[in-house]
Structure 1
Amino acid sequence: MKIPHLRASLIFVSPAIASHAFYVGKHLTADGSVLLGGTGEEVSSHWLQIFPAADHPPNATIEVGVTEDAVMPGTRMNISQVPHTFRYLSMEYSDYEGFPAPLTNGGVNEKGVAVRDVWADNRPELVDMTPNPQQGLQYSDLARVVLERASTAREGVEIIGQLIAEYGYADYGGNSHFIADKDEGWVVWEMSGGQKLWAAERIGPDEVRVSYPGYIKDFPVDFADSEDYMGSPNIVPFAVEQGWWNPNGSEPFNIFNVYGYNLDGYTARDGGFKYMSQAALENATLAMVPVSEQDLIERVRDYRISDDEAGYGQVVSLRADMDPDVIRVWVAPTGSVTAPFNPWWLGVQEVPPEYGEHRYLTDGASSSFLNPDYQYQEATYFAGRRFKQVLYYTCSDPETFLPVVQRMLNGFENASRSGMGWVEQSAQTLIDHGQRQNALDLLTFYARTRANEAMELGRTIVDALDAYVKLTGEFRRPKGTEINDAGLGAETVNCLVGFDPDQPSWRQPPSPSRRRRRS
């Protein structure tokens, strides 16, 4: 989720929505996998897409960067494409002002490299010194090129560093990426300011890390000699030049303290953002050790995280023994508090039209007619819309409906999980015997079947809740005249019980970061 900094002259408001990323090292998981999960929190439409591997001609380029319409204006540019790009799966989305669609927060590629994009504020001075117009790769560009090009998490970090050094970085006020493979994870923090600043920290097999926002704390000044840290050559000298860190003082070089947006009473891990801090989420995850896929799904689904602002949920397992086509990722088509996670594999040949791009919440849909090329796809039901309906009815009375709905979702996922073992084993056997296409057909059949059954489950839930609410007289018509909220700091639909947004005990801290709500 992108939360743009507003210029210092504008009022500072709280980051009401922002993506989460969860990392669990392989020594802490139930089956020895590295687990990476999280939410993508944007207003706009989301759809599942599988991008095939591709060969590109000499001198091929890709367009990157932001436009003059961005909160921090920029100009687009073309950069060189590599000769070959990898197959990958991601949830795409349609809109963020000045960041041309399609956009991605990341996904997983055929090499077993997974990426999550998460906001990470910078101090206002960095925002103020950002060139106008700015140039370089933006958050979605960086996530996509890592998926297209990286064979390991470490290589993904190196690619980000190389591209920023060569072309620059265009942003909205600071951002981070979590990159993981079968062995380790990396947090990469890209900085505003037009100085090509970035820093990265390795997260090992015995660690749990939650980014919300992404953070890096103590950082060695001699990081070039370390296997656990990377960064731009100027990450330390620039801080000294600006007077943000004294090399002769007693304080260690701390990326959050030096480059982050600091507010009294808040730290890198514990700031009260939204309803659970990073520390609270990390502790809740550690309490589940050994952590399974199902456990991480529970964390991502937590109603203190997943609500109307969550565009989708995702959990991926990364193991050394996985054939590229059998790399598995669980995806919820919208906020997973009331939507099922469906299993997908990189070997799946196509995504059902119900999970593809639709006009619901897609940028420009309200001011244009449908492109005839999409008329069949648009005629289908849309998973994102259906499970939004489940969300809105469920959260109208969460104490009554949420336990029932989530028990159904858990039951559905358990059924998917119970069939998954023989499907994956059969697919691997077919691959081992030279029948890869048959294996891909099997994976596609099972994924599509469960996805279609999820749609039927959604319709059943919506119909049941609709009948209950209306027959019991609980249906309420709107009192106001505006169907859209106020945008800045307004409450959104959620299933929180026992939280009072008017009480300061849990109110979010002010911040210079704020996104425009995506459409």
Structure 2
Amino acid sequence: MAETGARSTLRAVLVGGAATALTLPLAGAAGEPGDGTPAAAQVDQQAGSSREPTKSIGFYVGKDLTDDGSVLLGGFGHEPSSHWLEIVPRREFAEGATTTVGITDEARMPGELIEIPQARETNKYITSHYSEFAGFPAPLTNGGLNEHGVAARDIWSPSSERLLEFTDDVQTGPNYSDLSRIAMERASSAREAVEIVGSLIDEHGYSSYGGNSHLFADQDEGWVLVNYGGNQGLWAAERLGPDEARVSFPGYLNPFPVDFQDHPDEYLASDNFIDFAVEQGWFDPDESDEFDPHEVYGGLLPHDRQVSETHPAGYNMQGELEEELAEELAPVSLQDMMAYVRDPRWSHDRSGYGQVAQLSDVKHPELNKLWTAVTGAVTTPYVPIYIGAEDVPPEFKQHRYMTKGAAAEWLAADYAPLEATRYATRTFKRLMYHTCEDPETFLQPVTAEIEEFERDLLREQERIERRAQARLRSGREELGRELLTDYVGERLLDALELGEEVVSAVEERTREDSGIRLPSGRELPGETFRAESQSMNRGGLDGAANDIVHCYREALDDYPREHGAYSDQAGDLLGRDKPGKPGRPGELSELGGVGADVDPESLRDALDSARQEHDPDADWDAFADAVQRELDD
């Protein structure tokens, strides 16, 4: 067969400038621990503020219920503070090193900090950090994804009042965030995460705010663990199989067999888990061969929907939502889970971020990734954060906006350049507030812009991963990590630019249509300042003025919905026929762009990738076509 001009040119490039590359070796929740706010600052938190401990949500879908055989874990934490992204590097520590855990006397259930042994080496992991919770030292975390493909979510799970009466005057031991962090630092499987958390509670105790839970998952299975308040060392965990969907909202356990210790593949718990209840007269093993943890120790029985000011669509309806995932949405796709975490029934101003982990047998550990929205996903796009990336842009790191204690002292000069950058969380909070002021007008077109952006990101993942894999498997790990770092950074900044463009469009239209609504405030007899200068916190306001900010309206749509359901509205807000594509033309040529000279590393990537599929000695044409496709990508 005659060579085409393109293939002839490619042959010249390969033979003349990269022949040696053909022989490159291939390398084989959390709950609410009280506000701890000084009395003088609580003037605005009178009757009507309703700060019940209803925080965080987690969704698990086993691999038999997903469209591609991966395990899905999604969710977020409810915290009224700043949130920021962090890729925590792998660390090595000297023998005898310790880590600080616990809570302080500022917590609603006070405690004291202690030191416990640190591991000699800790895993790399991705997380969303935050600063809220009186008495719980920042930075706090609800989990994330580590280099071994272990994902974690942390969700409140209230213990009963009768159990909490046993709480020590001064608690010691790791708190919920410490346990989440240490699991990410040390676990190589979901089960091991449970064993690590359980052993930490067994050895050091647990500093509680009233009861908590964790969802851990890897490519094979999930585990839900509840750590109970009351300082009795009580904890228990239940395996989640491949054909299960679990919603923690709050976290709960199903009944255990009394002989659960004979079934270690399905159940794990503290040695005193049933014995303590027997000693208190709360359970009689002679009357039942099943032990219901929530009936005995729980403060809120699951599957009983509750509606509140902070959850206008309700919470504690785990069974309903599990049915949605296992029946209405199954087989569940990554996009389905992204839309589900974004659902305005629970994603609102209390949502600190959005995370979705798609857990499968990746071709290289550095290609594990966590799809992350830096703040509430209802109006924030997800961006894939690869574990192989080294860092994120400054705009996605800690800033002083909504960070606990930031208003109490001047900024340290060391942090001035970081604080001077734009703050992505602030941008997407602005978009949320504008959108939720008039969701009937804005929620669907805003969602359309965001999800069209995400769909473009989804389409390019295979190409990015092929390029990164070519470097990682051919002994060029540093260049592979550099590619992933550049990619993650570029796409995060693209998301920020999209957010700024969309929020500007929504704000402009709001000003034109109705103007910016100003607060009515509170009646404060004898005071002359305007309502705009009163406290902006909830409390003391009338009716809907005291609500949290949320976009949920029952008549707005039927939920759950498909990702991309509003695609016909993409571009409407921005006044163009097509929504913006991720990336700025010409900037990502090293990642595979066209229109520029092929750089050596891109050529090496293309050669390595093509050689995995075709032997150039056996079928030159197929090999050359594969290289050309890689370069065209």
TM over 0.5: yes
Give unpaired runs (5+ residues) of structure 2: 1-28, 35-46, 522-533, 557-633
Counterpart residue number, 2:88:
51
| Equivalent in 408, 412, 425 of residue 384 of structure 1 | 425
Counterpart residue number, 2:552:
496
Q: Distance in 1 between matches of 2:508 and 2:53?
A: 33
Counterpart residue number, 1:507:
none
TM-superposed deviation, 1:499: 8.0
Query: Quick check: 1:268 aligned with 2:309?
Result: no
Q: Distance in 1 between matches of 2:554 and 2:223?
A: 36
Matches within 5 A, 1:50-449: 50-226=87-263, 227-250=265-288, 252-262=290-300, 267-272=301-306, 274=311, 275-276=313-314, 277-286=317-326, 287-449=328-490
- CA-to-partner distance for each residue in 1:321-363, whole Å, 9 max, x for gaps? 3422110110001111011111110011111001000001111
Q: Distance in 2 between matches of 1:106 and 1:339?
A: 20
Counterpart residue number, 1:511:
none
TM-superposed deviation, 1:13: 6.0
> Judging changes above 3 Å, is the alpha-carbon distance between structure 1 residues 294 and 76 closer, same or farther for their aligned structure 2 residues?
same
Q: Distance in 2 between matches of 1:425 and 1:43?
A: 39
Counterpart residue number, 2:537:
484
| Equivalent in 446, 449, 467 of residue 508 of structure 2 | 467
1:17–1:309 Cα contact (<8 Å) kept: no
Counterpart residue number, 2:30:
2
Larger helix proportion of the pair: 2
Q: Distance in 2 between matches of 1:279 and 1:250?
A: 24
- CA-to-partner distance for each residue in 1:374-406, whole Å, 9 max, x for gaps? 111111111110000000000111011000000
Q: Distance in 2 between matches of 1:5 and 1:343?
A: 32
| 2:30 counterpart SS class | coil
2:54–2:250 Cα contact (<8 Å) kept: no
Higher relative contact order (CA 8 A, sep 6+): 1
TM-superposed deviation, 1:414: 0.6
TM-superposed deviation, 1:14: 6.9
2:32–2:54 Cα contact (<8 Å) kept: no
TM-superposed deviation, 1:218: 0.7
| Counterpart residue identity of residue 199, structure 1 | A
Q: Distance in 1 between matches of 2:108 and 2:450?
A: 39
Q: Distance in 2 between matches of 1:164 and 1:498?
A: 42
When the two structures are superposed, what TM-score results if normalisation uses the length of structure 1? 0.92
Q: Distance in 2 between matches of 1:201 and 1:17?
A: 22
1:314–1:331 Cα contact (<8 Å) kept: yes
Counterpart residue number, 1:29:
66
Give unpaired runs (5+ residues) of structure 1: 501-519
Q: Distance in 2 between matches of 1:400 and 1:321?
A: 41
Q: Distance in 2 between matches of 1:499 and 1:131?
A: 48
| 2:385 counterpart SS class | strand
When the two structures are superposed, what TM-score results if normalisation uses the length of structure 2? 0.75
| Counterpart residue identity of residue 426, structure 2 | R
Q: Distance in 2 between matches of 1:487 and 1:133?
A: 33
| 2:402 counterpart SS class | coil
TM-superposed deviation, 1:17: 4.2
Alignment: residue pair count:
492
TM-superposed deviation, 1:498: 3.7
> Judging changes above 3 Å, is the alpha-carbon distance between structure 1 residues 146 and 16 closer, same or farther for their aligned structure 2 residues?
closer
Percent identity between matched residues is 45
Q: Distance in 2 between matches of 1:254 and 1:14?
A: 29
| 1:471 counterpart SS class | helix
